[in-house]
């Protein structure tokens, strides 16, 4: 589970959007975007590092939204570019 507070340095540095990432966004979007519940019988619990991947997607998404809201980025896309840049 994602802690209530988290250091910016603890968040994933880069995220490669391959088909499995897109499938995770589709299947677990309610959790990733809205903090919804993942059923205790869901297959993701048996996938190695599965829940960690979902939580990393949620943390990255929340960070990008925060950047947009505080005015560092004007759009979600711009916050994404800021998040994955090396600078």
Domain boundaries, the chain: 17-84
Return d(Cα 34, Cα 2) in angstroms, integer. 13
Residue 57 near residue 25 (C-beta atoms within 8 A):
yes
State the Rg of the chain over Cα. Answer: 13
**54 contact partners, CB below 8 Å, separation of at least 6:** 24, 28, 31, 32, 38, 44
Residues of the chain with pLDDT > 70: what percent?
53
pTM to 2 decimal places: 0.58
Does the pLDDT at position 8 exceed 70? no
pLDDT value at position 72? 66
Please give the pLDDT value at position 22. 80
Evaluate if residue 32 carries a pLDDT over 70: yes
pLDDT in tens, 33-67: 888 999 999 999 998 888 998 998 888 888 777 76
């Amino acid at each position: 589970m994602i802690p209530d507070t988290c250091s910016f340095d603890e968040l994933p540095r880069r995220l490669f959007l391959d088909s499995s990432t897109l499938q995770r966004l589709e299947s677990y979007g309610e959790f990733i975007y809205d903090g919804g519940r993942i059923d205790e019988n869901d297959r993701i619990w048996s996938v190695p590092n599965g829940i960690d991947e979902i939580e990393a997607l949620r943390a990255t998404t929340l960070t990008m939204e925060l950047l947009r809201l505080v005015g560092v980025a004007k759009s979600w896309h711009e916050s994404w570019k800021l998040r994955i840049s090396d600078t």
